[in-house]
């Protein structure tokens, strides 16, 4: 079962935004981990640690079906994600945009699955509202343009 293209597009927008804004002089974690942590913080305030941990665990289980490379990744009791950073090299955004760089595919699938579950359980409007709080400068408005709706 694959995720709807709209969810993958939204996940990719968030990952690209984080990759572009995460340029620092020190060591940096992957864009996937930064997106995941922002989701964890934002949703943790709304649904609590246990609520987020449950959703994240389910998203990871679903993502593993499409990306077996995630089998070493786990969600801890506090909702943190462990094991993803060791497997995923940093994403080269220019190469990723052209589809020539497979790095980060497992992370993209995980974020896509997590967003999909959020939409199912919270609804589109509330999910997008939460995303806008965490990513106020990100262009999220075109994620549903195929359906003729603006987010």
Which letter does DSSP use for residue 69 in this model? G
- Let me know if residue 142 belongs to a domain: no
- Let me know if residue 147 belongs to a domain: no
pLDDT of residue 85: 59
- Let me know if residue 82 belongs to a domain: yes
Beta bridge partners of 139: none
Give the Cα separation of 110 and 151 in Å (integer): 22
- Let me know if residue 118 belongs to a domain: yes
- Let me know if residue 141 belongs to a domain: no
pLDDT of residue 142: 56
pLDDT of residue 33: 92
Copy the structure tokens of residue 148. Answer: 């003729």
- The pLDDT of residue 59 is above 90: yes
pLDDT of residue 88: 45
pLDDT of residue 137: 81
Quote the domain boundaries for residue 83.
5-21+28-131
Average pLDDT, the chain: 79
Domain count, the chain: 1
- The pLDDT of residue 38 is above 70: yes
SS3 label, residue 29:
coil
């Amino acid at each position: 079962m694959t995720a709807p293209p709209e969810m993958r597009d939204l996940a990719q927008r968030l990952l690209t935004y984080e990759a572009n804004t995460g340029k620092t002089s020190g060591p940096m974690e992957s864009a996937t981990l930064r997106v995941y942590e922002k989701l964890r913080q934002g949703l943790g305030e709304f649904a609590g640690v246990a609520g987020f941990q449950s959703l994240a665990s389910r998203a990871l289980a679903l993502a593993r079906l499409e990306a077996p490379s995630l089998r070493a990744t786990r969600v801890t009791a506090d909702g943190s994600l462990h094991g993803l950073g060791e497997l995923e090299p940093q994403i080269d955004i220019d190469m990723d945009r052209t589809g020539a760089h497979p790095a980060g595919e497992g992370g993209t699938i995980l974020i896509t699955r997590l967003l999909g579950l959020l939409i199912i359980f919270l609804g589109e409007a509330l999910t997008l509202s939460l995303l806008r709080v965490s990513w106020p400068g990100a262009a999220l408005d075109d994620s549903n343009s195929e359906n003729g709706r603006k987010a």
